[in-house]
Structure 1
Amino acid sequence: MITLAWPWVLAALPLPLLAYLMPAASPAGGAALRLPFYADLPGLAAAAAGRRSAWRIGAAVLAWVLLVTAAARPEWVGAPVNLPVAGRDLMLAVDISGSMEQPDYEMDNRMVSRLAVVKAVAARFVERRTQDRLGLILFGSNAYVQTPLTFDGHTVAAMLRDSVVGLAGRETAIGDAIGLAVKRLREQPDDNRVLILLTDGASNAGQLEPQAAAQLAREAGVRIYTIAIGGGEVGLRTALGMRLLRQGGDYDPESLKQIAQVTGGRFFSATGREELEAIYEELDRLEPSRRDERTYRPRESLFVWPAAAALVLSVLLALPLLGGRGLGVGYGR
Structure 2
Amino acid sequence: MIDFVWLWALILWPLPFIYRYIRKPRQARQQPLAVAVLPSLASATYSFKASRWQLVTGLVIWTLLVLALMRPQWLGEPVAARNDAREMMIAVDLSGSMEIADMEINGEQVDRLTMLKHVMSDFIERRIGDRLGLILFADTAYVQAPMTFDRATVQRMLDETVLRLIGERTAIGDAIALAVKRFAARPDTNKILVLVTDGQNTAGQVSPDQALQLAKYHGVKIYTIGVGAEEIVVDSFFGQRRVNPSRDLDEAMLSQLANETGGAYFRARSTEELAEIYTELDAFEPVQGEQQLRRPQTALYFWPLGAAWLIMIALFAVYTINRRRQHG
Same fold (TM over 0.5): yes
Amino-acid identity (%):
42
Match of 2:111 among 113, 121, 137: 113
For the Cα contact (< 8 Å) 1:86–1:292, is it kept in 2?
Answer: no
Within 5 Å, which residues of 2 pair with 1:242-281?
A: 246=243, 248=245, 251-254=248-251, 255-281=253-279
1:14 counterpart letter in structure 2: P
Within 5 Å, which residues of 2 pair with 1:107-146?
A: 107-146=105-144
1:157 matched residue in structure 2: 155
Q: Give me the whole-angstrom Cα distance separating, in 1, the residues matched to 2:105 and 2:233.
A: 13
Q: Give me the whole-angstrom Cα distance separating, in 1, the residues matched to 2:188 and 2:50.
A: 74
1:299 matched residue in structure 2: 297
Within 5 Å, which residues of 2 pair with 1:1-333?
A: 2-7=2-7, 9-17=9-17, 18=19, 21-22=23-24, 23=27, 50-51=49-50, 61-62=59-60, 64-77=62-75, 82-87=81-86, 89-185=87-183, 192-233=190-231, 246=243, 248=245, 251-254=248-251, 255-289=253-287, 291=289, 298-307=296-305, 314=311, 329=325
Moved more, 16-25 or 160-169: 16-25
Change (3 A) 1:233 1:28: farther
Instruction: State the Cα deviation string for residues 288-309 of structure 1 (Å, max 9, x = none).
Output: 3453899865322222554577
Change (3 A) 1:265 1:71: closer
1:72 counterpart letter in structure 2: M
- Structure 2: stretches of 5+ with no match in the other structure: 35-42
The structural deviation recorded for 1:261 is 4.2
For the Cα contact (< 8 Å) 2:72–2:299, is it kept in 1?
Answer: yes
For the Cα contact (< 8 Å) 1:100–1:114, is it kept in 2?
Answer: yes
**TM-score, with length taken from structure 2:** 0.70
Q: Give me the whole-angstrom Cα distance separating, in 2, the residues matched to 1:141 and 1:116.
A: 20
Q: Give me the whole-angstrom Cα distance separating, in 1, the residues matched to 2:185 and 2:73.
A: 40
2:40 matched residue in structure 1: none
The structural deviation recorded for 1:249 is 5.7
Q: Give me the whole-angstrom Cα distance separating, in 2, the residues matched to 1:126 and 1:201.
A: 23
Kindly indicate whether structure 1 or structure 2 has the higher relative contact order, using CA contacts under 8 Å at least 6 residues apart: 1
Change (3 A) 1:2 1:190: closer
- Structure 1: stretches of 5+ with no match in the other structure: 30-43, 238-242
The structural deviation recorded for 1:245 is 6.3
Change (3 A) 1:63 1:245: farther
1:50 counterpart letter in structure 2: K
For the Cα contact (< 8 Å) 1:215–1:263, is it kept in 2?
Answer: no
CA RMSD of aligned residues (A): 4.5
Moved more, 277-286 or 126-135: 126-135
For the Cα contact (< 8 Å) 2:231–2:245, is it kept in 1?
Answer: no
Q: Give me the whole-angstrom Cα distance separating, in 1, the residues matched to 2:189 and 2:73.
A: 41
